[in-house]
Structure 1
């Protein structure tokens, strides 16, 4: 505690009342939150399962988990804590109370793109609702895709507000949106899917409509902490206030000056009015105002920026001070400007970077970040191109360059070579470029040309089927021309951007097949599917913009400057920050119709006429405060436009330029770019066992993010497994079920699995699976004694990683515990890794329950009666040996050691990358 300032200590020790923490940039809020959790667990002996800690982003969530796991005892299971993003915590609450949800087990969560396509596919239903014509005429939307994007936005906003929408009697537009949302929810739940906004709404509905569930949550959760509270929306606040109930042990941390996500439904109202949720004087407020990130010049500049605007009470008044050691001996805030031309501006920026390099003030380009309102702006793109032509690498994953990369054009070109004759897509200039480029590549690849010709002939003759787009794309991976774009040895994001991007493209194509429920292309659907794919789907993706690969663990890749949006930079810090977009003002992009509708839906808070002003000031404040040692504002000063915008007049006018004598580059001292340390979270099956079988496949799946082709065998195994899980839960809850009900549940599970993976199982396979489930119900389940737990999550926390797994069944018998794991395979083949998994589970559960695990069983669902159950050796020596093996594998994963020797014939037989390994690595297991 000696390492914390007085206000930080107060935050850590104030645990038994509502607490509002206003934490400015660089004030150590994450460190303070971590210590607060440590204080609760280590000093106050609060159980981890009694704590809820939520934050806004996946990156922040993983950082919290990493830091907290290092602060608490290894005997404490961090997996019991409700910790993660707000969405992940809501999903956990839904999963734990799935019987009260409109969702069923094995539901699927739509991402942003999938949600848009779901609405697009159902557009006819929404157009049939009264008021649709007037609604879209009002917003001037004519194309179906534009209408889908528009509806998606308003559906999300309605659910984020947690409102019934209709606030004004006779408002036809709001009435239409209410009816759209009602129908949309029915469609979602019918297909057992959910989007991000409805995750929150469904969680709230379960809690508010089921008193037993709410009381259970209130009894369990004693302490709630919410990070980045200014980024929460109304439904999220309702959820947390509902859970805290009368305890009111809720601590929210945030900075209203950094509330920049209004467009996602976030509202600074939550943080500005938080104290009013409680009786007067009950909620304590503590301010963290010492900025340990930025030097004094930068902190003063940020303070002055906020003083430039009259806020009228719509922010907390605060004055930050720098707590950073003054290592910088020159100006901390300067400008790079020219009054001539954009070309001169680019040259000046380049010369500044090179001077930093030659004077050895930077040792890596990643110490520099350029921040803009948009990195898709043509001027910004031209600056990127200029720097790259001068051999300065640029990292900008959101600059909308994905579809213009050679590797993506080649992938599209190959598909065009196979299918273009179905319709003349080559009139499209972009498709023609992709096609011509690919033809040139194929000149030196006779094998691929022959293969494509064969596929084309089959499309013409419509002879049989050849899988969906995803499977077709995977069939190209072993050919020479395709291998040119793949490098599975290099890991640097920019040096190997091609491989990472191809992984993203494979994922997009996999989503297309799933969205269209496309299992195979055949004579019945080829024209419709191919036309839609090229004429609509790819066009929408290209126009929407796809981001390139980003690694949350490496936000500033070595040897490259970063070009990021203001929003993208939130939560990050850089030694040198160069802020552009100074031509923008508070009136940037005006859409009165959109705003009018938004304020009809939103709960009114800030004055409508000032919202743009407030948002403008907050987003630039967020950008300015990313700088550690040097903040630079940059623009081409066009006095007639004017640039910079008058909003910057008070802070920009007196800045010295980087070429002026007052800025002494020799006295500039910079920090290193911080490494973003995040622990790897590894699962037994998807990580440890996968790596143990094939490190190369592990790398492809987990580093390069290539999706794997799902097989019927995997779907069958998942179907049987979740059916047995359901039976065990029913027994655990002391409920009853008959054979007819089991059959209905089994078929429901299959229906949702089919929708999730788009893989159909033949009737005889379904019957076989049900027979196995029924056999378990009649001959095994009733013989179980006391069920202690079903689908129990366990975690092993080490210094560099966290291993997690799920135990299928924990049974108490004669005072000791038994664990059972269900496998759909045969009692052979992977037996060793199954046994090791049980041994690890036994080790972890003994710690948790403080009871010895005497028996471990593997239940082979597909085996004959006498071979169904295998007992696992659980003596200390065997367990210790397995633990050491697992730790060794985990260490190899963390160190990114993916070297592998001879591959196993049985493992390779159905691998998606078999053709690549066989051709490129000269591995041919058929000869072994």
Structure 2
């Protein structure tokens, strides 16, 4: 505790009252939250399962898990803690109470793109609702896809706000949206899918409509902590206040000055009005106002920026001070400006960066970040291109360059060449470029050319069904023309951008096949499907702006300058930050019709006429406060054009330029760029076992994110496991199912999987699965012992990584604990790996339960009676030997040792990449 200031200590130790923590930039809020969790567990003996800790992004969540696991001690299980993003916590609550949900087990969560296509696919139904014509005319949307995107936005907003717009039924547009939202939810639940906004809404509905569920979760969760509270929306606040109930042990941490996600439904109302939710005298507010990130010049500049603006009481008044050790001996805030032209500014910026490098003021380009309102702006792209032409690499994954990359053009060109029906699309300039690129490759790769001709003739004849787009594309990875874009030895995001991007494109194509339910393309459908793929789908993707690869652990790759949006930079820090987009103003972009409709739906907290202004101030404050040692504002000061915008004049005009003598480069001292510590998580099956079979395949799947082809065997295994999980959970809750009910559930689960993967199981295999499930349910379930846990999750921290596992079944018999794992394969097939998996689980569960695991069992669900149940040796020496093997493999992965040594040839039989490897070897 000696490492914390007085206010941080108060936050850590204040645990029995509602607490609002106003945490300014660089004030150590994450470190304080981590210590607060450690204080609860280690000093107050609070169980991990009694704590809920939520944050905004997946990256922030992983960082919290890493730091908490390191702080509370290695070998402590935190799997029972409700920790993660708000969405992941809501999903957990839904899963734990699935019988109360409109969703059924094995539901699917739609990502942003899938949600848009789900709406697009059902657009005719939405257009048949009374009022659709007037609604889309009002918003001037004609194309189906544009209408789908528009509806998604309003559906999300309604569910994020958690409001019932039925009260505003007099408005025709709102009445239409209400009917759309109701139909949309019905369609979601019919398909057993859910989007991100409805995850929260469904969680809230379960808790608010089922008093027993709410009582149980209130009994379990005694301490709630919410990070980035200014980024929460109304439905999220309702969920947390509902859970805390009368205990009110809720701590929220945030900074209203950094509330920049209104477009996602977030509202600063939650943080500004938090105190009013509780009785006077039963509430505490603590401010963390010491900024340990930025030097005094930068902190003073940020204070001046907020103080010179007219807030009229719509923010918490605060005065941040710098707690950073004085390191920089010259100005910490400057401008980089010219009064002539954009070209002169680019040259000045380059010379400044070059001087920083040649004088060793920076050791790596990743110490510098450029921040803009948008990285897709033409000026920004020109600056990026200029620096790259000068030999300085630029990392900007959201600059909308994905479809311009040569490797993506090559992939698109392959599909254009294969499908004869795509010929009319060659009038499109982009498609022509892609097509010509592949034709050029055919001149030197004759094997590649012959294969394309073969595939083209097949699709041209219309006499055969053909593979879907994903499988066709995968079949090309064995050719040298394709392999030159795949470099499995290089990990650097920019050096090997091609491989990462191909992984993304493969995922996009795979998603298209799933959305359109294409296991194969029937001969009579080829023309229609191809027309839609090239005429609509790819164009939508290209226009929507697909991001390039971003590593959750690497915000600023080595040897490159980052070009980021203001929003993208949230939560990051850089020694040097150069902020552009100073020509922008609060009303730079305005859509009055959209805005008016939004105000009708939302119960806006701030004055409507001030909202754009407030949002503008907050987003620039967030950008300015990313800087550690040097903040530079940059623009061309055209004499006759008001640049920078009037909003910046008061702070900008007082700044010295880098070319002036007040700024002494020789006295500039910079921090190095420090990556946030995020441990990798390893499970036995997904990581350790896969790596041991083939490090190359591990890298393709887990590093480059190439999708895996689903086979009948995998679908069958998933079906059996889902059904076993269901009957085991019923057994744990002492709920007896009839034979017919088990059969019905099996059939329902299969139908759901069939829709998701577009794969049909043979009747013989389907029947076998049903018989084996019934055999287990009738003859084995009651004999195993008392069920303590089903799909029991374990998370343990090691020094360099986190070990995860999910145990199929935990049982107790005669006072002794045992674990069971189900397999759909045959005995002696991967038996050694299966036994090692049980031994790993035994090690993890002994830590979790603080009790010896006495029995390990593998149940081969497809085997006959005398081979069905196999005992696993769990002697301590053998377990430690297996754990040592696990750790050796995990350390190899952490150290990026991906060279293929021993290769388990059994893994090759169904591997997507076997053709590539034959060519590679």
Tell me if both proteins adopt one fold, taking TM over 0.5 as the criterion.
yes
Residue 846 of structure 1 aligns to a residue whose secondary structure is helix
Residue 394 of structure 1 is matched in structure 2 by 394
CA distance in 2 between counterparts of 1:530 and 1:466 reads 12
- For residues 53-109 of structure 1, the C-alpha deviation after alignment (integer angstroms, 9 at most, x for no partner) is 000011110110000001113453111100000000000001111111111111111
Unaligned stretches of 5+ residues in structure 1 = 922-928
CA displacement at 1:297 relative to structure 2: 0.5
Q: Bigger shift: 744-753 or 260-269?
A: 744-753
CA distance in 2 between partners of 1:552 and 1:794 (Å): 22
2:521 counterpart SS class: coil
**TM-score, normalised by the number of residues in structure 1:** 0.98
CA deviation after TM superposition for structure 1 residue 237, in Å = 0.2
| 1:527 is aligned to 2:530 | no
1:383 is displaced (CA, Å) by 0.4
Query: Which secondary structure state, in structure 1, belongs to the residue aligned with residue 698 of structure 2?
Result: helix
Q: How does 1:501-512 map to 2 (within 5 A)?
A: 501-512=501-512
- Show the counterpart of 2:224: 224
Q: Which residue of 1 aligns with 2:137?
A: 137
The superposition leaves residues 456-475 of structure 1 with CA deviations (integer Å, 9 ceiling, x where unpaired) of 11112234333211111110
Counterpart for residue 820 of structure 1: 820
Give the C-alpha shift of residue 782 in structure 1: 2.7
Structure 2 matches for 1:291-370, cutoff 5 A? 291-370=291-370
SS in structure 2 at match of 1:881: helix
Whole-angstrom CA distance in 1 between matches of 2:245 and 2:262: 27
Contact kept? 1:420, 1:426, Cα under 8 Å: no
Q: Are the counterparts in 2 of residues 463 and 523 from structure 1 also a CA contact under 8 Å? A: yes
Give the corresponding residue for 1:886: 886
Q: Secondary structure at the match of 1:285?
A: strand
Q: Does structure 2 retain, via aligned residues, the 8 Å contact 1:372–1:581?
A: yes
Structure 2: runs of 5 or more not aligned: none
Q: Is the 8 A contact 1:289 1:318 kept in 2?
A: yes
Query: Is contact 1:370-1:562 (8 Å) kept?
Result: yes
In 2, the alpha carbon distance for the partners of 1:766 and 1:186 equals 29
Give the structure 1 partner of residue 652 of structure 2: 652
In the TM superposition, residue 169 of structure 1 has moved relative to its aligned partner by 4.0
Asked if the contact 2:416–2:422 (Cα under 8 Å) also holds between the matched residues in 1, the reply is no
Distance 1:446 1:75, change over 3 A: closer
Q: Which residue number in structure 2 is paired with residue 159 of structure 1?
A: 159
| Partner secondary structure for residue 557 of structure 1 | coil
Superposed counterparts of 1:131-530, under 5 Å: 131-530=131-530
Deviations 1:146-182 (A, max 9, x none): 1000000000000000011234341011111111000
Q: Which residue of 2 aligns with 1:918?
A: 918
Alpha-carbon deviation of 1:877? 1.1
Contact (CA 8 Å) 1:839, 1:882: kept in 2 or not? yes
Tell me the CA shift for residue 896 of structure 1: 1.2
Corresponding pairs, count: 921
Task: Work out whether residues 719 and 750 of structure 1, in 8 Å CA contact, stay in contact via their aligned partners in 2.
Answer: yes
Alpha-carbon distance between aligned partners in 2 of 1:154 and 1:111, rounded to the nearest angstrom:
16
Distance 2:687 2:799 in 1: 17
Q: Which moved more, 1:789-798 or 1:477-486?
A: 789-798
- In the TM superposition, residue 891 of structure 1 has moved relative to its aligned partner by 1.1
The 2-side partners of 1:300 and 1:422 are apart by 60
Alpha-carbon distance in structure 1 between the residues aligned to 2:639 and 2:198: 48
SS at match of 1:699: helix
User: Residue 169 and residue 186 in structure 1: after superposition, are their counterparts in 2 closer, same or farther (change >3 A)?
Assistant: closer
Once the 2 structures are TM-superposed, how far is the Cα of residue 778 of structure 1 from its aligned partner? 1.7
**Does structure 2 retain, via aligned residues, the 8 Å contact 1:656–1:663?**
yes
Residue 102 of structure 1 aligns to a residue in which SS? coil
**Structure 1 partner of 2:564:** 564
Supply the RMSD in Å over aligned alpha carbons. Answer: 1.0
Match runs of 1:530-679 below 5 Å:
530-679=530-679
Rounded Cα–Cα distance in structure 2 between residues aligned with 1:657 and 1:264 = 37
Q: CA deviation at 1:641?
A: 2.6
Counterpart in the other structure of 2:692 = 692
Q: Does 1:79 align with 2:63?
A: no
Higher mean C-alpha displacement, 289-298 vs 885-894:
885-894
Partner of 1:121: 121
1:790-847 CA distances to partner (integer Å, 9 max, x unpaired)? 1111223201111111111111111111211000001112111110111111122223
Measured in 1, the distance between the counterparts of 2:76 and 2:644 equals 55
Which range moved further: 315-324 or 688-697? 688-697
Q: Which residue of 2 aligns with 1:926?
A: none
Which residue is 1:837 aligned to?
837
Distance in 2, matches of 1:580 and 1:738, equals: 67
SS at match of 1:594: helix
Secondary structure of 2:820's match?
A: strand
- Greater alpha carbon shift after TM alignment, 713-722 vs 775-784: 775-784
Deviates more, 1:235-244 or 1:787-796: 787-796
TM-score, normalised to structure 2, is 0.99
Name the residue aligned to 1:924. Answer: none
C-alpha contact (below 8 Å) 2:420/2:459 kept by paired residues? no
Contact 1:48 1:76 in 2 (8 A): no
1:303-343 per-residue CA deviation (whole Å, 9 max, x = no partner) reads: 00001211011000001000001110000000011111111
Q: Give the 3-state SS of the residue equivalent to 1:166 in structure 2.
A: helix
- Residue 166 of structure 2 aligns to a residue whose secondary structure is coil
**CA distance in 1: counterparts of 2:338 and 2:435, whole angstroms:** 42
Answer yes or no: is the 8 Å Cα contact 2:156–2:197 preserved in 1.
yes
Report deviation, 1:902. 4.6
Query: Which residue does 1:740 correspond to in 2?
Result: 740
| Paired residue secondary structure (1:80) | coil
SS of aligned partner of 1:397? coil
| Number of the residue aligned with 1:925 | none
For residues 380 and 597 of structure 1, the distance between their equivalents in structure 2, rounded to whole angstroms, comes to 32
Question: Counterpart of 1:287 in 2: which secondary structure?
Answer: strand
Query: Is the contact made by 1:423 and 1:531 (CA closer than 8 Å) also made in structure 2?
Result: no
Contact 2:75 2:798 in 1 (8 A): no
Deviations 1:27-77 (A, max 9, x none): 000000000000000000000000000000111101100000011134531
